[in-house]
């Protein structure tokens, strides 16, 4: 389905491309230009056409940007990518720890006499530009709207994706598109807003009960939409993508080319809602004082999964769990040193594809053994492919896109006899995962209020990890979905129906990595025995069922409650998954889920 292009710069390709960009700076009278990992739709994932950051610098992480000045080029990366960036960019690019170092502060230090820094207003949100501009006020450093200078020099830039769109069945969506549009339009009317502009691809997919294929591993299509306060929707998407939909969109949706979006936006009567955190600055420029700022109307309704979506997710996880058990059984039967990371990736994908409901994997499988496991978002290549040697830990992070749900699971597996230090670290990570799984909390709390629970066992040993404890997950949509997160910066209250990951980890650069991940869904907490709770409480229900490597657990480190949780979880895995696997895997599963 996808035509892929080589859009990533090898380290030696970065410097000449940077030189071409600097020539454009000279021609435009600019002192710098920002190159984000973003597109005009402001989703997390970008098509090859929009992979400007990877093409220029070689860095392929899922977040970050380059500030290319005439004398220095900073690549801003968060804690997940501090190791990865070192291997991917040339010495002409300087890694900058972000968000510890903010762009405005870095620009002030690099341009003490002031300067003009260009940016493409399609590729930066209103909030992002507002923060940076405010922080630069009075410094002499000016943010300047510009054409995209990378597009000028990228001669073989891949074409804009044009994959077909299909209808998402009501049995999995759980609510008609017309009902969603009417419901969200009511919220616009209540706020006094005439319309809302929507740019996030997964929001448009969810609202109209459609799925696309413009981005590998993500069932989304690129386009824009305007939701009116009477429930009408104007969809700005290439009509050729929609030719297989028939009358699915209905009379309430009109279709126009994406090029008409800004003209139509400018003609609207205000107020028109924009979400500062997701709307490109270009939209605010066009709307002017007709723009009002508020939450993107699809964000929370999409995050609160309905009964059909939760049922589908639960069923998808059982089939996915069976695939994982088949893979783990096969892996356990191989001799240390006989397999490489690519062997594992290919085998797991082949096992998953036995399920006819699988549409794609949900992201590029992470299979990192030994030191590669310490690279949090490691992607194996022919050059990096390593053998699974005795004593290694293998971090295996993968998932599937099924018609009824999206999965994301990580297991860390011991290859042969594993050292005591690795087992102790594994046990602390497991204790954090158990603690979050067992948690009950008062309704109204957000991820930032509770995510420390999953870090505490590591903290007590002076250890930690540089990624969030968990992210939201879509319903046959993006495997990373907002706005809910288990993160110290997330202030979105957790609500019933939200699906998140629970994935503490530990990473020792040059040594090993550990991550254990289940998906969990928020539910009202059952009443406690012997009395009523003083407050309305919430809890988690686990969706993921696959064994956790018992050989890596230091049982003596666990409390009785932790041992009880593991044994109960493994009993549930055996009960739910055994009927779905073959004889050999069933025998293996019995041993893998035996009580501690």
Q: Determine the topology of domain 166-302 in CATH.
A: Creatine Amidinohydrolase; Chain A, domain 1 (3.40.350)
Residue 59 is given by DSSP the state -
- Residue 87 pLDDT exceeds 50: yes
Segment 482-505 mean pLDDT: 97
pLDDT digits (tens, 9 = 90+) for 6-49: 677 788 889 999 999 999 999 999 999 999 999 999 988 899 99
pLDDT digits (tens, 9 = 90+) for 253-277: 999 999 999 999 999 999 999 999 9
Report CA Rg, the chain: 24
pLDDT more than 90, % of the chain: 90
DSSP H or E run through 272: strand 272-274
* Predicted pLDDT at 84: 85
Q: Determine the topology of domain 304-590 in CATH.
A: Creatine Amidinohydrolase (3.90.230)
Report in angstroms the alpha-carbon separations of 56 from 67, 88, 96, 194. 11, 11, 16, 41
| Pairing mode, strands 115-119 and 141-145 | parallel
Q: Where in the chain is the domain with CATH 3.90.230.10?
A: 304-590
The pTM of the full predicted model, rounded to 2 decimals, is: 0.94
Residue 391 is given by DSSP the state T
Q: Where in the chain is the domain with CATH 3.40.350.10?
A: 11-153, 166-302
SS3 letters across 472-541: ECCCCCCCCEEEEEECCCCCCECCCCCEEEECCEEEECCCEEEECEEEEEEEECCCCCCCCCCCCEEEEE
Q: Determine the topology of domain 11-153 in CATH.
A: Creatine Amidinohydrolase; Chain A, domain 1 (3.40.350)
Q: In whole angstroms, what is the distance from residue 584 CA to residue 17 CA?
A: 53
Q: In whole angstroms, what is the distance from residue 50 CA to residue 56 CA?
A: 11
* Predicted pLDDT at 532: 66
Determine contact, residues 433/516, Cβ cutoff 8 Å. yes
- Residue 464 pLDDT exceeds 80: yes
* Predicted pLDDT at 6: 66
């Amino acid at each position: 389905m996808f035509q892929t292009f080589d859009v990533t710069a090898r380290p030696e390709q970065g410097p000449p491309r940077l030189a071409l960009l600097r020539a454009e700076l000279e021609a435009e009278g600019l002192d710098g230009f920002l190159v984000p990992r973003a597109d005009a739709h402001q989703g997390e994932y970008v098509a090859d056409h929009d992979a400007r950051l990877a093409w220029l610098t070689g860095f392929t992480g899922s977040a970050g940007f380059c500030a290319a000045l005439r004398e220095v080029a900073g690549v801003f990366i968060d804690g997940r990518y501090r190791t990865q960036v070192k291997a991917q960019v040339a010495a002409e690019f300087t890694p900058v720890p972000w968000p510890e170092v903010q762009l405005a502060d870095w620009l002030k230090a690099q341009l003490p006499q002031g300067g003009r820094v260009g940016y493409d207003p399609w590729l930066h949100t209103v909030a992002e530009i507002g923060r940076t501009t405010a922080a630069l006020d009075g410094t002499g450093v000016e943010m300047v709207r510009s054409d995209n200078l990378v597009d000028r020099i990228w001669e073989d830039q891949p074409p804009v994706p044009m994959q077909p769109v299909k209808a998402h069945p009501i049995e999995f969506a759980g609510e008609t598109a017309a009902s969603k549009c009417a419901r969200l339009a009511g919220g616009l009317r209540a706020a006094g807003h005439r319309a809302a502009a929507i740019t996030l691809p997964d929001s448009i997919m969810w609202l109209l009960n459609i799925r696309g294929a413009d981005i590998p591993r993500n069932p989304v299509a690129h386009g824009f939409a305007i939701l009116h306060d009477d429930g009408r929707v104007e969809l700005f998407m290439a009509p050729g993508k929609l030719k297989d939909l028939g009358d699915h969109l209905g009379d309430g949706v009109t279709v126009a080319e994406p090029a008409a979006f800004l003209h139509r936006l400018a003609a609207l009567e205000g107020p028109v809602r924009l979400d500062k955190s997701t709307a490109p600055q270009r939209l605010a420029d066009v709307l002017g004082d007709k723009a009002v700022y508020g939450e993107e109307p699809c964000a929370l309704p999409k995050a609160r999964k309905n009964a059909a979506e939760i049922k589908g997710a639960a069923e998808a996880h059982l089939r996915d769990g069976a695939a994982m058990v088949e893979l783990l059984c096969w892996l356990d039967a191989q001799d240390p040193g006989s397999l490489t990371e690519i062997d594992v990736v290919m085998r797991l994908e082949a096992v998953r594809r036995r399920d006819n409901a699988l549409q794609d994997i949900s992201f590029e499988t992470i299979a990192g053994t030994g030191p590669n496991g310490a690279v949090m978002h490691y992607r194996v290549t022919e050059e990096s492919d390593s053998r699974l040697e005795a004593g290694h830990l293998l971090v295996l992070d993968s998932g599937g896109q099924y018609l009824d749900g999206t999965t994301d699971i990580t297991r860390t597996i011991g290859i042969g006899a594993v050292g005591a230090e690795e087992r102790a670290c594994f046990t602390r990570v497991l204790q954090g995962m158990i603690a979050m799984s067992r948690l009950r909390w008062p309704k109204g709390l957000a991820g930032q209020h509770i995510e420390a629970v999953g870090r505490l066992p590591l903290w007590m040993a002076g250890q930690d990890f540089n990624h969030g404890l968990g992210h939201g997950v879509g319903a046959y949509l993006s495997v990373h979905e907002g706005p809910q997160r288990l993160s110290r910066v997330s202030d979105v209250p957790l609500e019933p129906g939200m699906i998140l990951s629970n994935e503490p980890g530990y990473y020792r650069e040059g040594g090993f990595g550990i991550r254990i991940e289940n998906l969990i869904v928020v539910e009202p907490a059952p009443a406690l025995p012997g009395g009523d709770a003083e407050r309305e409480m919430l809890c988690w229900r686990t969706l993921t069922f696959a064994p956790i490597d018992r050989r890596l657990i230091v049982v003596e480190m666990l409390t009785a409650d932790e041992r009880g949780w593991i044994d109960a979880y493994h009993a549930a895995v055996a009960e739910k998954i055994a009927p779905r696997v073959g004889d050999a895997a069933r025998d293996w599963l019995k041993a893998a889920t035996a009580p501690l």
